[in-house]
Amino acid sequence: GVHDLDSQRTHTRMETMRRLPRYRTVVRREFTTWIRDTLAPIAPARSGRALHAKVADPSKSNVEPNERPAPDVPSPRTWRLRRPDSGWREYEAKSGSFRHPVGPGGVPITTGAAAAALEAAENERLRLRAAARRDSAIAEKLGEEFSTRTMRSFHSPLRKHLTLDPLISEYSVDSPEGVALMQLAEALIRTPKEAGRYMPARLIRDMLGAGNLDFLSHFGGDKSLLINASSVALSTVRGILPKHVPGGDFFDESTRGLAGKGSDAVLEVGVTRALGLMARKFTMGANIEAAARRAMRAETYNPQRSHSFDMLGEGARTYEDSARYLASYAHAAEAIQAAGFSSPQMSVKLSSLSPRFDELSRRECVPDLSSKLGSLFPVADGPNAFTVFVDAEEQNRLELTLSVVENVIRERAPPRIGVVVQAYGRRAMETLEYLRELAVRYPETKISVRLVKGAYWDAEIKQAQLLGADSYPVWTEKRQTDVSYLACASFLLENSDTLPMPAFATHNARTVADILSMVDGNMDEFTRRGCEFQRLHGMGESFDYCGLPVRVYSPVGAPNDLLAYLVRRLLENGANSSFLKRLAQGRDDLMNVDVLCEREPEVSTVIGTPVVVAEESSGVPAMPRNIYGDTRLSARGVDFEYPNFPAAFAAQKAYGPAFKPLVCTGEDSLAELTARLGTFRPNTAKASDTIRSRAVVLRKAADIVERDSVAMSKMIMEEAGKTLVDAVNEVRELVDFFRFYANQAETHLAESKRLRTVTGESCLLQAQPRGPWLCVGPFNFPFAIVGGLASSAFVAGNPVVIKPHPSTPRCAAALVDVLLEAGAPEGSLEVVVDGPSPEGSRGAREGQSDAGAALVSSGEFAGVSFVGSTRTAAKINQALALNSVEKRAPLARLVAETGGLNVLVADSSALPEQVCDAVLASFAQSAGQRCSSARILVVDNGCKNELTRMIQGGLSAMRVSKNNFDLSTDVGPLISEIAADKARSHCDALESGGAKMLARTIGEDDGALFHPRVYDLNPQPGSDPVAGLNLLEDEVFAPVLHVVTYDGSQAELERVIEAVNRKGYALTGGVMTRCESTKALVTNKLDCGNFYINRDVVGAVVESQPFGGHGLSGNGVKAGSEGYLEQFVAHKVICEDTTAAGGNVELMRTTT
């Protein structure tokens, strides 16, 4: 019986295999007949148009009346990707960068309105191009039919009860329960085995025990059995979990009962099995062999289906990672070609082949990637030849990617190559034009394009804001992306002879209708040209693409590689604007939306020409620098990805200040200055006007610094030894300080505040300058921090004296230069620098006089702002107190920001890649010479081995060099050889005390060049982490990271944090975790001024992240905060009895 049953099943399967190809042909033939009979009367004059016919002018008669172009639509940006007669890297000098474009007439984009208008103008041109190509009547009919079929298929009883689609749609990312399950799945699958049982149990408890989850709300009589069963099961398990209260105490796993531990085990098994189902649904196989077998079976069932394989994985952090990924690609290429597929494809991510895939490392990475990519191509061509597609990545890597593609074609001449183009990028059309020119220049290589919409929109928006761009590199509206996609599709259809076999990746039935309408619904011609549609494996299965050729994008990898890919796909398709989301919600009213129809919203003329301005439905500011609304622009960045930048940087001279500082050769040399300061008297009557005028000066100074940002950056590099990226970031920080303090002064200091009081009285609070102010600055931020100190005291109306670090006097002089150019009153700012000292003094022994000490002890200052060491701050504080005791000087105010033993905590729930990135940035960036740099890493023993390996690999990929003018240098020298010698002595002491070096960069120390190092303070298994911390008492201002390991329990983690707190510092801290209880524990227990979660601990931003600590780390209000300027003014309360003139007139007026 069993044997007969198996035979019957085999026979049925073979029958199905024989019939299915014919069935597909019948379906397509019937659909073609339907198109001919239904749509032929609509546009008979257009039915004979060739597929590759060019659209010369959108204003011709084939454009529907409502799609005619608006007159005088401005051209897109003046930049182009390349000149037709030049190589990829040769640009016109007048072209602008993609992050900082210019409008018509070369006018820079400086307002949100101008940015929105330019974006709208560019998108309108694309809309007109796409609308001119397609037949709107055919598109409407096809869209209606496709949407109806797709909706019917998706909501059929078979799919509703026997597939995962309804469950995935129900628990999507727009519900808290869906987010919790997605995060739990990702966290559990990536938790190291070394973490033991405690971490999975903690994750389950934290994520499902959250108080805002209601799984029973997903239960419903009209929903699938799988949804209802899952909802009841999850609600039951959650009912016996302890509830986590955000901000409350952590849970102790040892106190949990059997029921609780049993529920953890049951749920962990359930999640593991669910991951197995999801892995099968969304990946083709765990390895290429399994994936190839499964794909071959699918192609046998349906000859219209083909596959493109993607080997899942993250970008390479180390050279070992890149070697492993290259071997994986090479093995996959061999297996795919051996499997006998028809026109097989494989996607390659260039970021996985190099840990230095960035524009500043172009000289190194382009030849390296060209060689690696070229090794994957087959030698021979043929009808079923293997094609390697270069995957699209972030927009800042577009130019690098195309450089690699051009290199491979020129040097290797592969038979064919594929390039993925993202339509959400605003340079998508220019990219296609470049690829067409490349195909004409190298006809021996067939270049194919896969058109996608794009997968990193949220990251691109944030990156543009972080970098201070004038424009987003991607479209800010979903509709604009759809328009761009269709315009690019029309280009590919027109140029299918030059760029053969274009692929259109989409799950949107209306998009398919629009593309087919561009060939008048002629599916045979569409197929004959080699065109095809593509969808993701596991998604878009409810639409059959009318029997046309469909290639399935097939991820290959183990479940732990799946989750990062899957989360991204679910975020894309779970968004409210997603076609699949609308499909799952049954929103048939939104299924057949024509994105090419003309709209008539607000019309703007801010760029000189009327254009249609898109609605801000995405919710992002129209301009990346508009993140603070109408109050101010964030500082403008520098576009390192702009190919002309290296040449422009080399030609730019460093800023040379004209201002001459006062050289201190002893107390006598300061007599004239201190005498002048002693004559200062605050004038309450003029205080308001003074503050307003100086706020105007700060804004003008900010504009000047932005104008000369590259020259200023070069000056910082020359004097302080910084790398380019660090120097540019410092210039931007200064600009933010200037604009923010100008706003704050006008808002909080310039206007008198009326205080509440009894009737018949008027009480006003007025700010007035406190008096002469001394700013003693550090070497590590000689422009931004010194400028922040000086500008805050200056805008409050005080005379300011700057005492820079002896190593960086030029930066201080440049600050005064800029402020004077912006209109600062003569004599309002002074710079005092050290000079040769008298023989026998302390300064003589060190080669310099101590101008700072002389200024502090003069007794002429109302306050001192200082950034530096805790010891020096204490000495200044002592000297100011002595001035009051011995010289009857005013009680001067000290605003001090000092260092810290900054801690970053990482547990085994955090993604190792994210932890590695955060650790490297936190301790090695700026050569560890930041007040906020991480000095201590507290790591869970469960993830220590893997994290150590990744950190070592990341350090090995770093470029450490004395030549900080090499744009690819990551870490430059310390400020001096003395500083480097101190760091080396500290490392010797660590090793003598039992610490073990875990990792360091490649190369040897040389004078001031000090290589970043990582030390394990408790290397022996089971050793006490608190005892290891005894090796570290004070801050070491260098890239040395001290690792202490705890056993994974939250009780021991708390003990380590308390030991750190006892050191007395409280500046910055952070935690890398996906456990809510761990996050709550570290957030609440670690004593610090700035705390960061799941990111690095450096790079505080003015206004967004006001910076400063307490304890041994400082005593002032946080720099860049709303209350900061209050420290630099005195307040006068003016109280007047308004009844003195004969009665309470105001009260009498209100009495009836």
Picking from 462, 456, 466, 354, the residue whose alpha carbon sits closest to that of residue 403 is 354
DSSP H or E segment with residue 768: strand 761-769
What pairs with residue 832 in β-bridges? 662
Residue linked to tokens 């800010």? 476
Burial of 1065 (0-12, 13-18, 19+ CB in 10 A): buried
Residue 1060 corresponds to which tokens in the numbers above?
């750190």
Cβ 1114 vs Cβ 785: under 8 Å: no
DSSP H stretches of helix in 942-1086: 944-956, 977-992, 1025-1029, 1050-1061, 1076-1085
CA distance linking residue 1018 with residue 1021, whole number of Å: 8
CA distances (Å), 904 to each of 30, 652, 1060, 1082, 1085, in order?
A: 64, 39, 11, 10, 13
| CA terminus-to-terminus distance, the chain | 105
β-strands 1040-1046, 934-940: how paired? Answer: parallel
Cβ 570 vs Cβ 182: under 8 Å: yes
Sign of the torsion formed by the C-alpha atoms of 74, 78, 82 and 86: positive
DSSP H stretches of helix in 67-135: 112-133
CA distance linking residue 417 with residue 397, whole number of Å: 18
Q: Which residues contact 49 (CB under 8 A, 6 or more apart)?
A: 520
User: For residues 327-351, b (16+ Cβ closer than 10 Å) or e, as one string?
Assistant: ebbeebbebbeebebebbbbbbbbb
CA distances (Å), 1014 to each of 485, 914, 949, 1047, 1114, in order?
A: 48, 18, 12, 20, 27
Q: Which residues contact 409 (CB under 8 A, 6 or more apart)?
A: 417, 438, 442, 445, 447
Please confirm, yes or no, whether 897 is among the known catalytic residues. Answer: yes
The beta-strand segments (E) located in 844-906 are 863-867, 893-897, 902-906
Catalytic residue among 860, 897, 1054, 1076: 897
CA distance linking residue 479 with residue 473, whole number of Å: 16
**Cβ atoms within 10 A of the Cβ of 300, count?**
12
User: For residues 20-38, b (16+ Cβ closer than 10 Å) or e, as one string?
Assistant: eeeebeeebeebbeebeee
CA distance linking residue 560 with residue 338, whole number of Å: 27
CA distances (Å), 936 to each of 312, 853, 1060, in order?
A: 33, 33, 9
Packing angle of the helix pair 428-441, 478-494 (nearest 10 deg): 20
Catalytic residue among 931, 943, 987, 1088: 931
Residue positions annotated with a catalytic role: 897, 931
